[in-house]
Amino acid sequence: MSAELEHLPPAPVGGKLVTPTTAVLFGLVLAMVGVLAMRFTQGLGAVTNLNNGYPWGLWIAYDVVAGSALAAGGFTTALLVYILNRGEYHPLIRPALVAALLGYVQAGASVMFDLGRWWDFWHLFLPKYAQVNSVLFEVAVCISAYTLIIAIELMPVVLERLGLESPRKKLNRVLFVFVAIGVLLPTMHQSSLGTLLVVFGPQVHPLYQSNWLPLLFLSSTMGMGFAAVTIEGAISAAGLRRPFEKELLGKLLQIGRVLIGVFLLVRFGDLLCRGKLGLAFTPSLPALTFWLENLLLSVPLWLLATKRHRTSARRVFYGAMAMALGGIVYRLSAFLVAYDTGAGWHYFPSVGELTVTVGLIAFEVLAIIIAVRVLPILPAAATAPASAQRPS
């Protein structure tokens, strides 16, 4: 079926917009708005458990660091299709870019909720204030620029929907430049998201602190990006009663496996070279999360070991889930568990913080549902929806 599917043009999925699912999602978004109203009128302390020992919490560690890594499918798929000329992955490019746009908008929104003096955020873009030695400066400027680039990469979809043929053709002539920048920028900021930890020095547990953080974050991000594209494929197959392109996605995960292999090799190699691997066997919370994330990331290595494994819908789905989850745990641990500013400081996200994170995810899912139903994002399903394959 997938061979046939690859050649089908994207088309709106159609269907009802108001369903029990979308209603629940909308409710979660409303709850987030309530919490944010308090945050913006009374300060961060009123709704978060942030403190001067843990000044960064869930909104940064999950929504920005992990969230943007899950959105990496946008650039990794573009890299495959447009840079490495792997046309077979072309059907995945639109859903991957839409997910990337929403993921980065989520990250950007989160940053605005988290910034104490959010009304001055534009200082980041003024040469007068720019501090080019700051890792965060590079991350912030790069993420902002990339969010614009994704929007440009998706413009043909909107122009097509609006029937603006002439601007669409003109844009298509120069789109390759934006596609190229759209691969460069995430390579830069996804690695820098890891470098953010370097200046924390000894405050980050030696199992996590490393001069190889840029490569560790980049390789795991790319794996997570492929995993996220696979999971999105599985969910849209189940939710929208469409075929699950397990063979194509299985191939995608094969590349993800190589990248995760690089991650594990660098991570363990670096610890061996620094003589810190012993700490992984000393009971501590960072040691526990260290094994948890590395085991999760290792799951796809054996679960999807053979070509046959990679055509099993179940294995492809669970392999992708483990890869994505391992990457998320790695990021949360690095920023919140391995980060320790000394005795007396504790942090666990508050109900308010969780409400905002869940609300943002709900907003994202809601937007994807509406987008694929209204816009030509997914390849048209020629076969009857009833024969659709489920991921599990």
Based on CB atoms, which residue is closest to another protein, 226 or 244?
Answer: 226
- Contacting another protein within 199-218 (CB under 8 A): 199-203, 211-212, 214-215, 218
- Contacting another protein within 235-294 (CB under 8 A): 251, 254-255, 258-259, 262
Among 13, 58, 99, 154, interactor with another protein by CB under 8 A: 154
CB 113 → another protein: shortest distance, Å?
11
Q: How many positions of this chain bind another protein (CB under 8 A)?
A: 98
Among 181, 235, 277, 279, interactor with another protein by CB under 8 A: 181
CB 324 → another protein: shortest distance, Å?
19
Contact indicator for 218, 65 with CB cutoff of 8 Å: no
CB atoms within 10 A of CB 52: 7
Based on CB atoms, which residue is closest to another protein, 251 or 331?
Answer: 251
- Site pattern 298..327 for another protein (x: CB under 8 A): ------------------------------
Among 18, 173, 281, 386, interactor with another protein by CB under 8 A: 173
Contact indicator for 26, 366 with CB cutoff of 8 Å: yes
Contact indicator for 331, 241 with CB cutoff of 8 Å: no
- Is residue 195 involved in binding another protein (CB under 8 A)? yes
Instruction: Please give the Cα distance from 78 to 190 (Å, whole number).
Output: 16
CB 363 → another protein: shortest distance, Å?
23
Among 1, 2, 8, 145, interactor with another protein by CB under 8 A: 8
* Exposure letters 69-107 (e unless 16+ CB within 10 A, then b): bbbbbbbbbbbbbbeeeeeebbbbbbbbbbbbbbbbbbb
- Is residue 334 involved in binding another protein (CB under 8 A)? no
Amino acid, single-letter form, for residue 55: P
Based on CB atoms, which residue is closest to another protein, 25 or 106?
Answer: 106
- Is residue 191 involved in binding another protein (CB under 8 A)? yes
- Is residue 138 involved in binding another protein (CB under 8 A)? yes
Among 32, 100, 222, 375, interactor with another protein by CB under 8 A: 222
Contact indicator for 253, 226 with CB cutoff of 8 Å: yes
Ramachandran bin of 204, using left for φ above 0, alpha for ψ from -120 to 50, beta for the remaining angles: beta
- Contacting another protein within 51-80 (CB under 8 A): 51-53, 55-56, 79-80
Instruction: Please give the Cα distance from 225 to 128 (Å, whole number).
Output: 35
- Is residue 151 involved in binding another protein (CB under 8 A)? no
- Is residue 4 involved in binding another protein (CB under 8 A)? yes
* Helix or strand run (H / E) with residue 60: none
- Contacting another protein within 88-107 (CB under 8 A): 88, 90, 93-94, 97
Among 17, 26, 33, 134, interactor with another protein by CB under 8 A: 134
- Contacting another protein within 24-43 (CB under 8 A): 40-43
Which residues are paired to 91 by β-bridges? none
CB 134 → another protein: shortest distance, Å?
4
Q: Residue 340: what are its φ and ψ, rounded to 5°?
A: -140, 115
Based on CB atoms, which residue is closest to another protein, 25 or 267?
Answer: 267
Q: Residue 52: what are its φ and ψ, rounded to 5°?
A: -75, -10
Instruction: Please give the Cα distance from 221 to 71 (Å, whole number).
Output: 9
- Is residue 156 involved in binding another protein (CB under 8 A)? yes
Q: Both tokens of residue 35? A: 């919490």
Among 10, 73, 243, 391, interactor with another protein by CB under 8 A: 10
Helices (H), 196-284: 213-239, 246-274
Contact indicator for 337, 286 with CB cutoff of 8 Å: yes
Amino acid, single-letter form, for residue 53: G
Based on CB atoms, which residue is closest to another protein, 383 or 392?
Answer: 383
Instruction: Please give the Cα distance from 206 to 279 (Å, whole number).
Output: 8
